[in-house]
Amino acid sequence: MQSRRVFLKSGAMALVSLGFAPSFLARTVAAAGTRKKLLIAIFQRGAVDGLNMVVPFGEADYYRARPSIAIARPGREGGALDLDGFFGLHPGMSALQPFWDRGHLAIVHASGSHDATRSHFDAQDYMESGTPGVKNTRDGWLNRYLQAMDEPRTPLRAVALTRQMPRALQGRAPALAMGSVDGFDVRGDVTAKAAFESAYESAADQVLNGTATEAFDAMRTLSRKTSSRYRPASGATYPRSPFGQALREIASLAKAEVGLEVAFAESTNWDHHANEGGATGQMANRLDDLSRGIAALVNDLGDRMADTVILTMSEFGRAVAENGSRGTDHGHGNAMMLIGGAVKGGRIYGDWPGLAREQRYEGRDLAVTTDFRDIFAEVVVSHLGATSAAAGRVFPGHSVNPVRFRGLLRA
Amino acid sequence: MSSVSSVDSSVSAGRAATPSALRDRQILMELEQARLLRAVYSERQLEEVLVDFWFNHFNVFAGKGPTRAYVTSFERDAIRPHALGNFRQMLEAVAASPAMLFYLDNWMNTDPQAPQMGTGESQGRLRLGNRRPMGQQAGAGGSRAGEPPQRQAPARGINENYARELLELHTLGVDGGYTQDDIVNVARAFTGWTFRPRQGTTFTFARARHDDEEKTVLGHRIRAGGGMEDGRQVLDILAAHPSTARFIATKLAQKFVADTPPAALVERAARRFIATRGDLREVTRAIVTSPEFFAAGAYRAKVKTPLEFVASAIRATAAEVRTAMPLARTLRDLGMPLYSCQPPTGYDETAETWVSSGALVARMNFALELGANRLRGVSMASESTSDRDALRARIVDDILGGDVSAATRSVITRATTAEQVVALAIGSPEFQRQ
């Protein structure tokens, strides 16, 4: 366990570097000790091309393999945004550069699963169940985290801003999925709402009964805690996309102090087999949406970012070489991002395997040198405060060993 | 715009508000309504269920560029005629459909050694306007003299997208026993399967773009020089493969019987698939006439998908649908917008997916709106709402089969208005299952 003193210090440093007014500082420090940690998980569904998201511009093989879609070296037109002289962000991600510069954005490259699947469905399933290669795991790793911690029951502890419950949050512990916070209420008169609650309360149907109970509990809490209209902090402009709006809803819940601990959002449409584009084009548009969304969220949460980690993930990366349609086919290793006050950012983590043919996984894809479970486990232990033993229950079949943690977070 | 805009923009950049874009949107709205109206009113309910099932099995996403304009033909010509027909024939109808060729990118799948064909513009970026289409003269290997200057050399080479999903999602299933090498060889077999956007949107085989060398797929040798027969041979191999029989049998049994279907039923249906060489009428019959289908344990075992919920609610209340757009919007709220499932997996069939807190609340709200006649263009006839007791009796006894919990019966009995009776029955736990 970290000492309170260290925590306050790192929290305060985070605030200074995030650039907030001193008046916010005092309030945060006072509140930090009692506030819950918050994890915001973002799934990039469809397998983002990590090599064009976090560009290894120092690799000649990168340019040889991608004659029409490579991102140019920094300083050239449409060039990558230099991070450390070897890697750069896609130019469409400039909204995230300030967080890198202030040391709040970390990247783990060549991360992913040791399972060989290139199936979207299986790979998403494995990443969300947290058990690569095992298909009959019933619950998701985020849900098992909720199960592993002995916390008082609060209905809005885990919320996915998705219309369907994501696999990562499915399981025994209560969790909610909703398209929007405002829309999450029974819109009839009070007697209808009470009648529905009563019918579901005594339903023998376990699935429907349990879900409805969670829903009605959450509706009660929300009606007490939230004002009618949410207004983001000044300077936080969310994209009008479904992803941007989902992040806005997450911020509104986080600031309503309803006990939110795990939030989930998804960014879709990353499966660029054709006409992926380079500095501009399809993928650039998606990265723009992703980056501006995350930047708005960070700015909106403001001092709350001291207790928050935003974690991005995607089921696998894409082949090193572009295919015959100026796109990329399914690959293996990928890049994940962590943003937060406690993140030791401004660094690329992981061992870089190289892109020469003999360095590639099965001769074609970026190899995996960091198991995604070690990143998840580090967040569960170092950020959310689980013990290693508890984290072991979150990732069955994987030995959770802090020695393998990359040191992404101030412990 | 929604998240699909980026896909649209690459294909029709700067053309978002043109008449053709509006027309495309209109097409989708009409399709959604047509599907819903059939789901509610068709006297061939099994066919509607199967069209929904097979469309979803071979899912295409209307939001991916011009796919939207091809979905009408896809459902009408590639799916519906085969829903109770032969699987192998459906497989080829899908493989050759412009919707699938575009959605999974096979229209660009080209032998890397192919001679220079179209322009960069027409081959790499499909335009549905004034530009000459790709592949237009491909069969004849004709030159492209007189084309506008090229910005980029045309893309050439393999695209694995369709090949992978053909094996994983359409036929063998992800554990059906194929390798990355099989995927590459299947992709090679389908090089040159493309279409002509402007000439009636028809399939064409572009021989000059086809890799005519020998291939090996799942241990079968496909001889050099086969041309378009390469792809057909692959479909033959896949349709006759026992993994396919098992995969299709599992999915159909899951649709009709239980999220985790009884193994013996799957086994029998798979054997029927093999014995009849993929006669889907017979495979379907084997499932819906089975003891497992009629078993007590299969009763209300499945949570309705949003489409099943909405269609059954309208049927149960005998509401009149003048426009189905409010129903289409409801499906979006419930997480199942028609023709807009982005990944090739299609929508999931199981309860875990469809029972989320948000979706349950949205179902209750739909029930309340329907009961109060607040869905514009959807109304219950006045005689059904004038007599509360009669309606209550009809809902509980006929629509819910008289089989409701004491709590549900009690809240319905206490309802003070006819509107509430309908809402509480449609929003009840019992009505969410079938």
| pLDDT tens string B210-232 | 999 999 999 999 999 999 999 99
Residues B312 and B419 in one domain: yes
Residues B271 and B320 in one domain: no
pLDDT at A194 over 50: yes
Nearest to A144 by CA among A322, A398, A395: A395
Nearest to B101 by CA among B151, B56, B66: B66
Q: How far apart are CA A69 and CA B400, in angstroms?
A: 57
Residues B280 and B352 in one domain: no
B7·A117 Cβ contact <8 A: no
Looking at per-residue confidence, does B389 or B17 come out higher? B389
Using the 3D structure, point to which of B252, B274, B300 is the last residue of a domain.
B300
Domain hosting B378: range is 306-432
Q: How confident is the model at residue B428 (pLDDT cuts 50, 70, 90)?
A: very high
pLDDT of the residue at A228: 66
pLDDT of the residue at B4: 33
Using the 3D structure, point to which of B266, B300, B334 is the last residue of a domain.
B300
The answer to whether residues B233 and B188 touch, using CB atoms and an 8 Å cutoff, is no
Pinpoint the alpha helices (H) of B318-372: 325-333, 351-354, 357-371
Residues B177 and B316 in one domain: no
Query: Per the domain annotation, does B113 fall within a domain?
Result: yes
Tell me: the pLDDT tens digits for A48-92? 999 999 999 999 999 999 999 999 999 999 999 999 999 999 999
Q: Which residue type, as a one-letter code, is found at position A401? A: N
pLDDT of the residue at B295: 95
Looking at per-residue confidence, does B137 or A105 come out higher? A105
Mean pLDDT of B320-343: 94
Query: Per the domain annotation, does B86 fall within a domain?
Result: no
Using the 3D structure, point to which of B265, B300, B335 is the last residue of a domain.
B300
Tell me: the pLDDT tens digits for B32-66? 999 999 999 999 999 999 999 999 999 999 988 88
Nearest to B180 among A192, A286, A362 (CB): A362
Residues B327 and B423 in one domain: yes
B167 vs chain A: nearest CA distance in angstroms?
11
Query: Per the domain annotation, does B82 fall within a domain?
Result: no
Residues B196 and B333 in one domain: no
A188·B365 Cβ contact <8 A: yes
Which chain B residue's Cα is nearest to A319?
B160
Tell me: the pLDDT tens digits for B248-290? 999 999 999 999 999 999 999 999 999 999 999 999 999 999 9
pLDDT of the residue at B19: 73
Residues B321 and B277 in one domain: no
Tell me: the pLDDT tens digits for B87-121? 999 999 999 999 999 999 999 999 999 886 543 33
A274·B416 Cβ contact <8 A: no
Q: How far apart are CA B132 and CA B109, in angstroms?
A: 19
Query: Per the domain annotation, does B3 fall within a domain?
Result: no
Query: Per the domain annotation, does B217 fall within a domain?
Result: yes
- In whole angstroms, how far apart are CA A132 and each of A117, A123, A135, A136, A370? 9, 8, 8, 11, 14
pLDDT of the residue at A362: 95
Residues B419 and B395 in one domain: yes
Residues B266 and B128 in one domain: yes
Query: Per the domain annotation, does B193 fall within a domain?
Result: yes
Nearest to B342 among A185, A268, A275 (CB): A268
Q: How confident is the model at residue A15 (pLDDT cuts 50, 70, 90)?
A: very low
Q: How far apart are CA B338 and CA B328, in angstroms?
A: 7
Residues B290 and B347 in one domain: no
pLDDT of the residue at A27: 42
SS3 B221: strand
Query: Per the domain annotation, does B404 fall within a domain?
Result: yes
Residues B139 and B287 in one domain: yes
A241 vs chain B: nearest CA distance in angstroms?
6
Q: How far apart are CA B382 and CA B387, in angstroms?
A: 9
- Quote the number of domains for chain B: 2
pLDDT of the residue at B3: 34
Q: Which of residues 353-382 of A touch B (CB under 8 A)?
A: 362
**Which tokens sit at B343?**
């990944």
Tell me: the pLDDT tens digits for A99-130? 999 999 999 999 999 999 999 999 999 999 99
- The answer to whether the predicted template modeling score (pTM) of the entire model surpasses 0.90 is no
Query: Per the domain annotation, does B33 fall within a domain?
Result: no
Residues B160 and B295 in one domain: yes
A151 vs chain B: nearest CA distance in angstroms?
21
pLDDT at B200 over 70: no
B27 vs chain A: nearest CA distance in angstroms?
22
Mean pLDDT of A151-158: 86
A215·B361 Cβ contact <8 A: yes
